Homo-oligomer: A and B are copies of this chain.
């Protein structure tokens, strides 16, 4: 055989599948109970394996928690570089950005909640990451918005706080979904709800920036 060490043996494939199943289960439990409230037993239960088998794959809770955080951060980074959002006009860039963020809230609500718990708790695990990775990107994005302002493409706006507002407004549909469901009188948020929310938030931001009536 050509390949000395076959990469996709039955075992290794199964392993990957099981690992991601575990990560999804862990995400659910961390999202709903936070780090301390999540038990390995419960995560194993949802993964439909024994606790000891869970520990075989993820030898301790800390590591598992970090892996879950890593996963969601990878997704965010991949989809959320403001500068790289296609669009020529500020309005296009903004609309695309808000849409991405809303879709992430829709597709990865549990990841978002885990992140939220982590930050609210003072980011004991993620603080270094925020400093080393998020801040530089943030500074670049702020610079871009400033350039828009200087060119008169959007209303004069506090760029830092613009981002805080956009993040908060979009993530709330994942993090505070329970509250939103109650207030909308629905048992859960479905696709149409998210579409409406997306339109509301996007229009809101675009209007606040006056990005629509400037060329």
Contacts and interface: CB of A to CB of B under 8 A. Distances in A.
The A interface, classified by DSSP as helix, strand, loop or mixed, is helix
Nearest to A132: B182
A173 B164 CA distance: 9
Contacts of A55: none
Contacts of A134: 179, 182-183
A167 interface: yes
A214 B31 CA distance: 44
Residue among A157, A160, A176, A199 facing the most chain B CB atoms (10 A cut-off):
A176
Q: How many copies does the complex hold?
A: 2
Given A120-B31, A127-B182, A169-B165, A200 B36 contact: no
Interface stretch (A13-21, A66-74, A145-153, A203-211): A203-211
A197 interface: yes
A122 B32 contact: yes
Interface stretch (A1-9, A46-54, A78-86, A111-119): A111-119
Contact of A164 (B116, B180, B207): B180
B122 A182 contact: no
Contact of A179 (B32, B123, B155, B161): B123
Given A178-B119, A183-B138, A204 B157 contact: yes
A178 B116 contact: no
A208 B200 CA distance: 11
Contacts of A119: 175-176, 178-179
20 contacts: A33-B36, A34-B37, A34-B117, A35-B37, A36-B37, A116-B120, A119-B176, A120-B176, A123-B178, A155-B207, A158-B199, A161-B204, A162-B200, A162-B204, A164-B169, A164-B172, A164-B180, A164-B183, A165-B165, A169-B169
